[in-house]
Every structure is written in structure tokens, then in C-alpha cells.
A and B are shown apart, each in its own frame.
Chain A
């Protein structure tokens, strides 16, 4: 297998952009990543585009707009992990030697309001069995019932990520929020308050992967693992575990993390910086447990011990996470990769994690799909 390096990254800020098409968002990120890599037409041999709501041939439209079409182009949908899945596919092509250099990008313009998803049959929507925040709420309630996670801990997670997000010019929300403000924001679905949930939004990110080492301190993709769920570990009428793994059924994040740690020959103790799925505050705590950043059932204690804060090891979501950035499904995982590439290069400015050499990116969502990427320098 060939090593896979990051030759360039690019991002379009996450937010709401009424005057820009999803194609324009994607083109912005792709142009930036190729410019940083010093590459252009003819310099990459395939493209993988993560997106969920962008419709037919969305990635092709971006490449056409930039005069870069003609290469094999695949649009990848894997729910919240779409961008990660696109990167995993691209990395495998480079590692196998099939292609020398590939372009990976992701973009989204999310519909407003509660995310509507064809994942649910029409009758399930009609019957009221589809609201994502209600599923997140049951997951958070279960964490609170089965371990010592408290309501204040959910607020602390959001306060931490918003504190981090203040330093990120690509985030949608850049405002310090106190635990009290978060707790007193409107209840969406008990126990979750509005400021404990991320906002679906718009954005794009792009990463150029290559087998040619671009400089001696290049960022390398050390692992790219993708898993889907086993029955019993995910939301659904016949598998209503509310996303919390049982003792007998491994969650997709646990499986992907195990694969990624094995592929990289590294473990949770080696991580210097982590970007993980924080669709809601409870999801961050569960993600931390599933990735092995703290003990199973120890997530509440982890939060109260300042787990994931800047200055601890590893900091979690130094970008501000999805809680600050918002979540454009196809772009969110690659947004993490852009952030972590900057972190590993020492180019993250005021949010720089000191001497970061090993980084992990994690996304998980509908399907369920989980992606765990490990980057090293």
C-alpha cells in the first residue's frame, strides 16, 4: 500500500448564503484546495464528492463549473458521514496505486428547520416517528439514566465548543455562551435545549490526496475507516436503542474507531487533537466514550473534569465543532479534515493545539454510517 498525503485543503465558511448555489460553494472549496496544492486540470485522476441534499450529479456540476470535468467522478451519500466516506474512497484509490492524486470534496445547502429525510418511509413521517431532535433527546436521556451525565454536563459541552468556536472565522456562531444561558434557552425536546443542538446549514470543504510526499513535514492519512450499524445499535422501529450501544451490540463509531486505530497502529492515548460528531451535546459525550477518549459510562465525569477543553489532551473540537460551525452534511467531515490539517501543520492560528502530531476526525449519522479518520504528521 502507498502512503496517502494531504496535498492541499480548502474550505468555504459554514453558515447561510442565500445568494450562492451549492455548486458555487463547492467550487470555492475545490479551487482553494487545488491552489494550495499547486495543482490544476489534468493533475488529479478522480474525484469523490460527499453530499446528501444536492441532487443529481452535484459533484460533476462543480467540476464542470471549474473546467475540471472529464475524470471519473463519484457522488457519495452516507448521511452525516458523507464527506468522510468520500475521503475513505479517495484514500483507498491512492493507497492501492490506482491513482496518483485524487480530489475529495463535500458541500451542502441544508433545508431549513428540522431535517427532513427520505430515510423514513412516508407513513413514519405521517405518524410522527421521524423528528431527529426527539431521537437525540432519547439518546441524551438514556445517557443520563444509565450513567452520571447530568443536564449541566450537556450545557458544559455546548459552552466549551462555543468558546472554541469564537476563534474560528469559518464557524457560523462565534459567541461565548454561558452554561446558564444554554440551560435557559428554549426546550426543543426534553432534556435538550436549543443551544445544545447544532444547526443544519451550508458550506463546503475540499482535500487533495496524493501518493507523492509534498514536503518533509506533510500531513498523512494514517487511517480512513467506515462502518455501518448492526441491528440493535441504532435508531429505528425494530432497533430502538436510541443510538446507545448495548453490551452486546457494538455501535458503528466503536467499530470504525477500532478499525482506524488498528490501521494506524495507534490508540486513543496517542491522540493530540480530535474533531468529533457533536450534532447535540449528548452526541459529543457518547462520541468521546465510543472513541475511547474516556471510559464507557464515564462521559459525565469526563466533562466535569474539563475533558476536551483547550489545554487538556486531547482537545476536542478546537474548531468549535458542529455546535459552533453548523452542520452541512456532505461538508462536515471534510471541514474537520481541513481544521486538523491546519492543526498538524501548526497553522491553526489562535486555536492552535501545541505540538499536534496525531489527529482524529469522527462523523456518524443516518444509516447509520460512522467514519473515523486519523491524520499524522
Chain B
């Protein structure tokens, strides 16, 4: 059995109380951002501290991607949207649900880390997505 790997470093962790996105917050201007950068993309201040985000969020915007975009390694169709997390951070994300009648603005969603594809070495590659937590 091959060991799973994240699709890129520095995106998420799976802790004892569930997954988190490795977001950051600027100590100078207070804006959150993801993935964490060395300086704040809003105000250029270097005082950026780790602020893991999730796993609960609310769906803001959503659509479905029906045909395979170039370079994409997962299955189609897939959901695509903007999720707002509890601390005000908004993230562009894949959604596990592509049926639009099961999605609506304000829907409670939960961060999941799951295998998206298997790489050339046979290792499952993990990525993040949000899954509906209630009926639309």
C-alpha cells in the first residue's frame, strides 16, 4: 500500500479534531488569507501568523464544472465554489457535490481531505474540498 501524499505542501493538516486549512492572519491589518504567505497580500506587513481555518463553513457561490479542465486529475463533473469560514476567510474550493439542486447559498458545508487521483508512483494524492452538511 502506497503512502498518500498531499497535492501540495502547506495547504492543510489533519489533526485530532479534524482537518484544517493552513490559513494565516495579518497582525497588522487583520485580514485572513489562504494559503499562508510570508507577507500579508493585503498590506505587505510581515507580521503574518498561522490561523488554521475550518472545518465548518457556509457556501457563498457555486457552480459545476462539467468538462475536464486542462491539467485537472480528478473526476468530472465536480462542484466549484466560494466557501466562507467562521473567521471571515473566503476560499475558492472544489465541492464534493456537483448536483446544483443540492446546493444553495448559505448551505452548511464541511472541509474534507480526500484522495483526488493516484500519481505515477501509485501514491494516492490528497486534496481538499467541502461537502454539504445539510439538505438544500
Contacts and interface: CB of A to CB of B under 8 A. Distances in A.
A138 B80 contact: yes
B56 interface: no
Interface residues of A, number: 36
A122 interface: yes
Contacts of A235: 92
B82 interface: yes
Contact of A141 (B7, B37, B63): B63
B63 A238 contact: no
Given A116-B71, A141-B63, A142-B61, A190 B94 contact: no
B127 A138 contact: no
A151 B35 CA distance: 34
B33 interface: yes
A126 B73 contact: yes
A231 B89 CA distance: 13
Contact of A188 (B31, B35, B66, B80): B66
Contact of A129 (B42, B63, B94): B94
Interface in A95-116: 113-114, 116
B11 to A, nearest CB: 8
Nearest to B42: A231
Interface string B15-52: 00000000000000001011101000110000000000
B16 to A, nearest CB: 25
Interface stretch (A28-36, A46-54, A239-247, A295-303): A239-247
Given A138-B82, A242-B61, A130 B90 contact: no
Contact of A189 (B35, B63, B125): B63
A123 B70 contact: no
Contacts of B90: 240-241
Contacts of A134: 63, 65, 69, 80
Contacts of A116: 70-71
A127 B63 contact: no
B107 interface: no
A238 B33 contact: yes
Interface in B55-74: 61-67, 69-74
A237 interface: yes
Contacts of B66: 187-189
A239 B33 contact: yes
Given A126-B73, A128-B74, A142-B61, A239 B41 contact: yes
B82 to A, nearest CB: 5
Given A128-B72, A190-B100, A240-B91, A137 B63 contact: yes
9 contacts: A122-B71, A126-B71, A129-B80, A138-B61, A138-B82, A231-B33, A237-B91, A238-B41, A240-B92
Interface of A: 113-114, 116, 120-123, 125-131, 134, 137-138, 141-142, 145, 187-191, 230-232, 235-242
Interface of B: 7-8, 31, 33-35, 37, 41-42, 61-67, 69-74, 78, 80-82, 90-94, 100, 105, 116-117, 125, 127
Given A127-B127, A131-B65, 16 more contacts: A113-B70, A114-B67, A114-B70, A120-B71, A122-B71, A125-B70, A126-B72, A130-B71, A145-B61, A191-B63, A236-B92, A237-B34, A237-B92, A238-B33, A238-B41, A242-B82
